[in-house]
Structure 1
Amino acid sequence: MKKVALVTGASGYLGGRLCRALLHHGYSVKAFVRKTSDVSSLPPPSDAGDDGGGSLQLVYGDVTDYPSLLEAFSGCHVVFHAAALVEPWLPDPSRFTSVNVGGLRNVLKAYKETGTIEKIIYTSSFFALGSTDGYIADETQVHPAKHFCTEYEKSKAVSDKIALDAAAEGVPIVPVYPGVIYGPGKVTTGNMVAQLLVERFSGWMPGYVGQEQGFSFCHIDDVVQGHIAALAKGQNGERYLLTGENASFKDVFDIAAEISQTSKPWFKIPLFLVDAYGWICVLFSRITGKLPLISPPTVDVLRHQWAYSCEKAKKELDYNPRSLREGLSEMVPWLKSLGLIKY
């Protein structure tokens, strides 16, 4: 009998790719999505094919709606809890708590009530560990919880403690911590690198922003394979950083310029100007209802470094992240093929 995997957040940037990979590995997948979700990134619902792949079933609900989540758990063996609000800013910040913290609590409650779940892979975030100004962190780092750049960061730090406490009580949960995910797929807030490259090539982001070794960049397909490896090899309650090359957005823009054979930016934009732009974006967001790409919390993030080591995942999960150059060599032409950038 094929194992049945439930994927929350299945319509998202990571969730959609994860569903496809699980199907490829022979799982039957229940894709948990809202009625209003854009499911264009998902394959059509289907029965198992002759190639040995699994079947996909759309199940509707919301992680904040416990009855719908509990119903989705029925008949499942493993859960990938990838649903989250990943925005740096929202007009109603309480939604971060209700979705990111409340959603995990509901997953753990449904696990206890269902009784058939063998393992939960929980998608946390590098933000849950906190910034790394002047050093490279590993899984032993615990967020000091003295300062949070964004409400998203705060919600993921709180959720991280909930996940680890559940593991200590015997819940078979494995938290994984992606870095800044990039690569082909939905151009959403979860794909911030794609959005910034679009801004860069359109002229709206003419210079560099952020710190040296500011972020740990990881390709979407590497992160997906890391999730599946965590299911097979991850130890309950152990944390695994699914990060990659520690670099800066200057590196991203320079490599993109070399790939596209266009000129590199020649100056760094002062953060006080980015901050002012962020406030303007927030003002327009309140008028238009469209969430801003840059906001004051984003600028606070850019003031810090977020560099991590994924050696534990390499050793225990055979995680093998590609270099930033290799990943961008795929991504930049992909953005051009969609007409999102021109060069």
Structure 2
Amino acid sequence: MANGETILVTGVSGFVGAAVARVMAAEGWRVRGLARATSPATNLQNFPGEIVRGDMLDRASIERALEGCTALAHVAADYRLWAPDPEEIVRHNREGTRAVMEAALAAGVKRIVYTSSVATIAPLDGGAAGEDRPLTEQTAIGAYKRSKVVAERLVEQMVAEQGLPAVIVNPSTPIGPRDVKPTPTGRILVEAATGKIPAFVDTGLNLVHVDDVARGHLLALEKGVPGRRYILGGEDVSLQEMLAEVARLVGRKPPTIRLPRLPLMPLAVVSEAWGRVTGREPMLTRDALRMAKYRMFFSSERAKAELGYTARPWQAAVADAIGWFRQEGMIG
């Protein structure tokens, strides 16, 4: 229990940030949530604390938000797998993290959880990767992965050189309620539930309920070692299995056509070009196809052993996600 201490949670209008704020409040923290003025309001309704307006790229707004806080959960990030200017994603996540962490040091915050991603970890061919396989900026595929690698290395450097009291958590692929935008994985669930994904590529991912990820943040805040990384994952699942489970939940036939990756590259090029014209994120990108070569399977054994972390079955996470999308009218 936090005994009424105040924690700042950034990115509370977003998917993971909203879940983290609710878990912290339930554990006795006084929650102050940082959200941009332009953020969607869905996850701010019935918020269990105080909302302050600001931006992770605005150092002054971060400093104001941190006044009186003894802890920080920096969850906010530019979570786009594609942008017309890919370097914008890298700049946002690097400079936003720098601004937040420097402000936290200046404010004397005692405990920090920084939300990274398994995007910073090299997948293991034929197995589940752990925290001992860090990617470099040069080996990361795509702007989003590079941005998270750069930001994570910045936090590690500040821990080592400036005594930043930050524990790093690496969520795998969170799904569940309150996925307002939705996230790239949430979008796949919606598209699959509405019958718009008739085929699949042979790949896999580690699915975890967003509320389990949020609970992992709390455990990391309480028990984690500064500078140490903890994968917050669930279960390894093939894309075909996930799509079949969605089909079962909504009463559709599961897709059975397996598509090879390389012949899809020209379609990805066209999709990206159209995205640059319209400004909308393309459904298929070259980076996504490159990443699909690897099964993104990960191990949470360190978090289980050192933090007491647990996660529910992946099917429950899919069911909660589909139920929320249906409730919000995103699935008919």
Q: How would you bin the TM-score normalised by the shorter chain?
A: over 0.9
- 2:313 is the counterpart of 1:320: no
Maintained 8 Å contact 1:133/1:306 = no
Match of 2:9 in 1: 7
Match of 2:23 in 1: 21
Report the alpha carbon displacement of residue 101 of structure 1 after superposing the two structures with TM: 0.9
Which range moves more in the overlay, 131-140 or 76-85? 131-140
Write the letter of the residue equivalent to 2:214.
V
Instruction: Please state whether the residue corresponding to 1:268 is helix, strand or coil.
Output: strand
Relative to structure 1, the CA distance from residue 23 to residue 246 in structure 2 (aligned partners, 3 Å threshold; closer, same or farther) is same
Which range moves more in the overlay, 121-130 or 327-336? 327-336
Relative to structure 1, the CA distance from residue 210 to residue 39 in structure 2 (aligned partners, 3 Å threshold; closer, same or farther) is farther
Counterpart of 1:93 (choices 80, 86, 92) is: 86
Match of 1:62 in 2: 55
Relative to structure 1, the CA distance from residue 44 to residue 260 in structure 2 (aligned partners, 3 Å threshold; closer, same or farther) is closer
Counterpart of 1:329 (choices 316, 319, 324) is: 319
- 2:222 is the counterpart of 1:232: yes
Counterpart of 1:220 (choices 175, 188, 210) is: 210
- 2:287 is the counterpart of 1:267: no
Write the letter of the residue equivalent to 1:287.
V
Distance in 1 between the 2:15 and 2:283 partners? Answer: 16
Write the letter of the residue equivalent to 2:114.
Y
Instruction: Please state whether the residue corresponding to 2:200 is helix, strand or coil.
Output: coil
Identity across the alignment (%) = 30
Report the alpha carbon displacement of residue 21 of structure 1 after superposing the two structures with TM: 2.0
Instruction: Please state whether the residue corresponding to 1:177 is helix, strand or coil.
Output: strand
Match of 1:133 in 2: 125
Report the alpha carbon displacement of residue 195 of structure 1 after superposing the two structures with TM: 1.0
Maintained 8 Å contact 1:189/1:293 = no
Distance in 2 between the 1:197 and 1:97 partners? Answer: 26
Write the letter of the residue equivalent to 2:38.
T
Distance in 2 between the 1:144 and 1:193 partners? Answer: 24
Q: Once the two structures are superposed, what CA deviation does each residue of 1:246-281 show, in whole Å capped at 9, x if it has no partner?
A: 112111012222333431211112324543343333
Report the alpha carbon displacement of residue 240 of structure 1 after superposing the two structures with TM: 0.5
Distance in 2 between the 1:179 and 1:290 partners? Answer: 25
Relative to structure 1, the CA distance from residue 180 to residue 61 in structure 2 (aligned partners, 3 Å threshold; closer, same or farther) is same
Relative to structure 1, the CA distance from residue 337 to residue 11 in structure 2 (aligned partners, 3 Å threshold; closer, same or farther) is closer
Matches within 5 A, 1:1-343: 2-44=4-46, 56-115=49-108, 117-169=109-161, 170-190=163-183, 192-211=184-203, 214-342=204-332
Q: So what's the TM-score if we normalise by structure 1? A: 0.89
**What is the Cα-based RMSD across aligned positions, in Å?**
1.9
Maintained 8 Å contact 2:91/2:147 = no
Relative to structure 1, the CA distance from residue 71 to residue 210 in structure 2 (aligned partners, 3 Å threshold; closer, same or farther) is farther
Q: Once the two structures are superposed, what CA deviation does each residue of 1:26-64 show, in whole Å capped at 9, x if it has no partner?
A: 22211111111113212346xxxxxxxxx6222122111
Relative to structure 1, the CA distance from residue 43 to residue 336 in structure 2 (aligned partners, 3 Å threshold; closer, same or farther) is closer
Instruction: Please state whether the residue corresponding to 2:259 is helix, strand or coil.
Output: coil
Maintained 8 Å contact 2:193/2:250 = no
Report the alpha carbon displacement of residue 142 of structure 1 after superposing the two structures with TM: 1.8
Q: So what's the TM-score if we normalise by structure 2? A: 0.92
Report the alpha carbon displacement of residue 2 of structure 1 after superposing the two structures with TM: 1.5
Write the letter of the residue equivalent to 2:143.
E
Maintained 8 Å contact 2:123/2:298 = no
Maintained 8 Å contact 2:54/2:61 = yes
Which range moves more in the overlay, 289-298 or 249-258? 289-298
Count of residues in Structure 1 that have an aligned counterpart in Structure 2: 329
Match of 1:48 in 2: none
Report the alpha carbon displacement of residue 225 of structure 1 after superposing the two structures with TM: 0.5
After superposing on structure 2, the runs of 4+ consecutive aligned residues of structure 1 that deviate more than 4 Å are none
Relative to structure 1, the CA distance from residue 44 to residue 198 in structure 2 (aligned partners, 3 Å threshold; closer, same or farther) is closer
Write the letter of the residue equivalent to 1:129.
I
Write the letter of the residue equivalent to 1:280.
V
Write the letter of the residue equivalent to 2:13.
S
Distance in 2 between the 1:145 and 1:131 partners? Answer: 15
Distance in 1 between the 2:140 and 2:229 partners? Answer: 21
Instruction: Please state whether the residue corresponding to 1:222 is helix, strand or coil.
Output: helix
Relative to structure 1, the CA distance from residue 201 to residue 274 in structure 2 (aligned partners, 3 Å threshold; closer, same or farther) is farther
Match of 1:50 in 2: none
Which runs of 5 or more structure 1 residues have no equivalent in the other structure?
A: 46-54
Which runs of 5 or more structure 2 residues have no equivalent in the other structure?
A: none
Instruction: Please state whether the residue corresponding to 1:208 is helix, strand or coil.
Output: strand
